[in-house]
Amino acid sequence: MRLSIWFVSALLFLLSCKKKDPDTQPLDNFIKLTVQPTYSSDGQQNIQLDTVYTTSEGYKVKFTDIKFYLTKLKNGSVNLLESAYFDYRETGLLLAKVKGDYMQFPNLQGYIGVDSLLNHSDPSEFPNDSPLNISNAGSMHWGWNTGYIFINLEGKVDTIPNDGIANFDHNFSFHIGTDSYRRDFDFTNINWQTASANEKVFSLKLDLWTFLHNPSNPIDLKTQFLTHTGSGQQALTEKVTTNFKQSLISY
């Protein structure tokens, strides 16, 4: 009996002293995409929503919403992400965060806007965490035929600054959608920044000064303040689409 007690005690002692296995579980690697909207002629001033800025024409302008979709993000045949949604008001600078190895993405291609097949799918059928699910898309989805709003820039502008009226005299609303206004993007030689041991970041800039003041394609908010990609709005729709693409650049 005494022998048994000694044996059990020794066993307990040995087990209690057993060194724990080191945690050998590898950490997942993440890729993060961010977008910093800016508004200044040198492209260095970060924009704040609902804050008054001035255009080169002297108009007071404030942005109230900056939203857009990128889809089919990949490098050649290596896919990164089906869709990413930027909503400056709701999620700040974050465009997407996804598991992945940045080494596979020295370049990144895709669409500004929504791939045609996705654009006309049942918006309720996407996974619950997809930016394209109708619960997440909300006002960015027009309908099955027209599809999603690819680019949504909204704000207010005061084009008559000395009229004594404090209110901004009209809104501007650029809603770009439909398949023919989807555009490609191609970022090459990406400079991935290290955010942490297992997270790399690709920072983009949305230069809204250049968007409005593109030398070859300026937008005058006094007269060019509304397009919903409708018939009769093609000229401004084209201009917004072109300028947006040229304003979305590597930071």
- Partners of 67 in the beta sheet? 87, 152
Is residue 239 a contact point for other proteins (CB under 8 A)? no
Residue closer to other proteins (CB basis): 34 or 55: 55
Residue located via tokens 């997942």:
28
Q: What residues numbered 28-57 form the site for other proteins, per CB under 8 A? A: 50
Q: Pick one of 57, 169, 179, 199: the residue that binds other proteins (CB under 8 A).
A: 169
Q: To the nearest whole angstrom, how small is the minimum distance from the Cβ of residue 188 to other proteins?
A: 36
Q: Specify the residue, 93 or 226, whose C-beta has the smaller distance to other proteins.
A: 226
How many CB atoms are located within 10 Å of the residue 127 CB? 9
Q: Is 177 in the site for other proteins (CB under 8 A)?
A: no
Mask: binding to other proteins, 55-74, rule CB under 8 A, as x and -? ---------xx---------
Tokens 């502008």 found at: 157
168 binds other proteins per the rule CB under 8 A: yes
- Residues recorded for the chain: 251
Residues 106-145, one symbol each (x = binds other proteins by CB under 8 A, - = not), give ----------------xxx---x----xxx--xx-xxxxx
Is 173 a binding residue for other proteins by CB under 8 A? The answer is yes
Identity at 58, one-letter amino acid code: G
Stretch that binds other proteins, among 10-18, 29-37, 38-46, 162-170 (CB under 8 A): 162-170
Among 171, 180, 188, 194, binds other proteins (CB under 8 A): 171
Residue with Cβ nearer other proteins (146 or 214): 146
* 91 contributes a contact to other proteins by CB under 8 A: no
Q: Tell me, residue by residue from 205 to 234, as one string, x for binding to other proteins by CB under 8 A and - for no binding.
A: ---------------------x-x-x----
- The footprint of other proteins (CB under 8 A) covers 1, 50, 64-65, 122-124, 128, 133-135, 138-139, 141-145, 154-156, 166-173, 226, 228, 230
